[in-house]
Amino acid sequence: MYGNDRGSFRGESFAPSAPVEAGKEYEVEIEDIAKKGDGIARIEGFVIFVPDTKVGDQVKVVIDRVMQRFAIGHKA
């Protein structure tokens, strides 16, 4: 009716949805370490912060929270 296929006319974001979902488990490789010490993994370029990991770790991570530009998870 109003708006278009990409979102509402009321100024909603047209940003693509995250490639991960809260509560789901993913296998990732830790590629880097953040300033606060959390491991950084990426799925389709989307950043996931995983505490208690180090560069090179292959871990299964459960996503706790998904934000617009990143997600936070923990080792499964």
Task: Report domain extents, the chain.
Answer: 25-75
Closest CA to 27 of 5, 43, 47, 44: 43
Cβ atoms of 19 and 43 within 8 Å: the answer is yes
Q: Please give the pLDDT value at position 46.
A: 97
Spell out, as residue ranges, where the chain has pLDDT lower than 70. Answer: 1-16
What number of other Cβ atoms are within 10 A of residue 41's Cβ? 24
Q: Please give the pLDDT value at position 17.
A: 85
Round to whole Å and give the CA distance between 43 and 60. 12
Q: Please give the pLDDT value at position 14.
A: 52
Domain 25-75 bears CATH identifier 2.40.50.140: yes
Q: Please give the pLDDT value at position 8.
A: 47
